[in-house]
């Protein structure tokens, strides 16, 4: 679906406290959707006497695997840990090349670099915020061994053509689905297309365990490898008679406390997506008079979960920083778009010359509006009202 929105002297003075230049945050960018249910779930685990990885983790894994539509889900302590282990478990080794988007959080590339892999950054499509399949094909070389697809902001990447490229060239396909739990593409959940996919349960994600992540896969060997690596490299129960360390692994286990929160959150997942979609639809309708704004494009055969609500200025005549300052002064937390990975200090030495115009465009023009399931109509109306006021101000025009 594609939507474009149209805008637009000598006397003593009594001392008083100076007013703050920035108002306290009244409306945050995001907020976890939690209640007493999560509190009770944590208390139950605390009273059980078993706090580390146990039955709750196993239950949470089963719920996620069934929901995504895969055989295995392996819980870990963060989405970054999930990516790190998935890269290893699909068979990549030092020196291998991995195609990744620069328009992503740095963890997407960091997890590859930690194993000595060589990231090759590709551009996104205009207003899709996801990898351009045509450019993926052009980026292939003799060193390429994998493609890492990010489903950014809860919008599904165009995974079929990218998957076809991976299959044709015998490349591993890893989905960074940290933002897209519940998003569908051609009636399938994201996370069900690659050799392995990685989820995040960070508080900004669709459901949360505080910190936490998961790898989902249909591949038995990949699942067992990740189960081993998350637990110091010790073979999972049943593979050997004794617990033996088969590889130099990590302590990336999820706790039953986190999993108990995750189970409760999972039961609210459809409600969370419904509430986010309602708010996103209202934003779309209410900003229809703003001629200077563009909203995202995603494939017609996909349904987003609206993990974030991203907007982009249509041209360079608007000063984004002045706009954001207006919103912040009025207690509304708005943030600029994603800083490209290839321009981060850790990567720019080798990648600053990469030709990624759409990634740069999104970084310079996009911003996020507050969106969270418990957001009230009054709160959203306040954001919309200030959006219009900011856009009508002469100060924001360069």
Structural domain boundaries of the chain? 2-31+269-396, 36-266
Residue 21: what pLDDT?
54
Distance of alpha carbon 204 from alpha carbon 127, whole angstroms = 22
Please, which pLDDT band fits residue 100 given cuts at 50, 70 and 90?
A: very high
Q: For 131-179, what is each residue's pLDDT tens digit?
A: 999 999 999 999 999 999 999 999 999 999 999 999 999 999 999 999 9
pTM: 0.91
Q: Is 267 a residue whose pLDDT tops 70?
A: yes
- CA–CA distances in Å: residue 152 to residues 13, 60, 77, 251: 55, 24, 21, 28
Please, which pLDDT band fits residue 346 given cuts at 50, 70 and 90?
A: very high
CA torsion angle 294 297 300 303 (round to 10): -100
Please, which pLDDT band fits residue 238 given cuts at 50, 70 and 90?
A: low
Please list the residues that pair with 390 across neighbouring strands: none
CATH code matching the domain that covers 2-31+269-396, chosen among 3.90.1150.10, 1.20.1250.20, 3.10.129.10, 3.90.850.10: 3.90.1150.10
Of the chain, the percentage scoring pLDDT greater than 70 comes to: 92
- CA–CA distances in Å: residue 136 to residues 106, 190, 192, 206: 19, 19, 20, 28
CATH code matching the domain that covers 36-266, chosen among 3.40.50.300, 3.40.50.1010, 3.20.20.70, 3.40.640.10: 3.40.640.10
Segment 88-96 mean pLDDT: 96
Q: Is 7 a residue whose pLDDT tops 60?
A: no
Burial (CB count <10 Å: 0-12, 13-18, 19+), residue 37: middle
Answer with the residue of higher pLDDT: 241 or 71.
71
Q: What is the DSSP string of 248-317?
A: ---B-PPPHHHHHHHHHHHTTHHHHHHHHHHHHHHHHHHTTT-TTEEEEE--TTEE---SSEEEEESSTT
């Amino acid at each position: 679906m594609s939507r474009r929105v149209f805008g637009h002297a000598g006397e003593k003075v009594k001392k008083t406290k100076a007013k703050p230049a920035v108002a306290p945050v009244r409306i945050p960018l995001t907020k976890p959707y939690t209640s007493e249910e999560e509190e009770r779930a944590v208390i139950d685990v605390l009273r059980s006497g078993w706090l580390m990885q146990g039955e709750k983790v196993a239950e949470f894994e089963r719920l996620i695997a069934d929901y995504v539509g895969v055989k295995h889900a392996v819980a870990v302590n963060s989405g970054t840990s999930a990516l790190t282990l998935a890269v290893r478990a699909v068979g990549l080794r030092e020196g291998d090349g991995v195609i990744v988007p620069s328009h992503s959080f740095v963890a997407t590339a960091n997890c590859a670099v930690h194993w000595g892999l060589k990231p090759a950054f590709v551009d996104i499509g205009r207003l899709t915020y996801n990898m351009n399949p045509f450019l993926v094909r052009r980026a292939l070389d003799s060193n390429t061994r994998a493609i890492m697809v990010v489903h950014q902001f809860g919008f599904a990447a165009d995974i079929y053509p990218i998957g076809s490229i991976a299959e044709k060239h015998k490349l591993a396909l890893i989905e960074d689905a940290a933002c897209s739990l519940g998003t569908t593409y051609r009636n399938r959940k994201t996370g069900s297309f690659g050799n392995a996919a990685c989820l995040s349960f960070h508080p900004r994600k669709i459901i949360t365990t505080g910190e936490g992540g998961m790898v989902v896969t249909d591949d038995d060997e990949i699942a067992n490898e990740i189960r081993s690596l998350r637990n110091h490299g010790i073979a999972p129960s049943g593979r050997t008679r004794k617990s033996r360390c088969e590889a130099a692994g990590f302590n990336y286990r999820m706790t039953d406390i986190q999993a108990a929160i995750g189970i409760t959150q999972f039961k609210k997942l459809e409600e969370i997506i419904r509430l986010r979609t309602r708010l996103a639809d209202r934003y779309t309708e209410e900003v229809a008079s703003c001629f200077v704004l563009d909203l995202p494009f995603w494939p017609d055969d996909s349904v987003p979960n609206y993990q974030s609500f991203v907007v982009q200025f249509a041209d360079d005549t608007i000063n984004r920083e002045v706009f954001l300052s207006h919103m912040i002064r009025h207690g509304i937390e708005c943030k600029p778009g994603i800083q490209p990975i290839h321009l981060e200090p850790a990567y720019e030495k080798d990648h600053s010359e990469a030709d990624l115009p759409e990634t740069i465009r999104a970084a310079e023009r996009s911003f996020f509006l507050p969106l969270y399931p418990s957001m009230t109509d009054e709160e959203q109306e306040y954001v919309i009202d200030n959006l219009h006021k900011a856009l009508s101000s002469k100060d924001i025009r360069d």
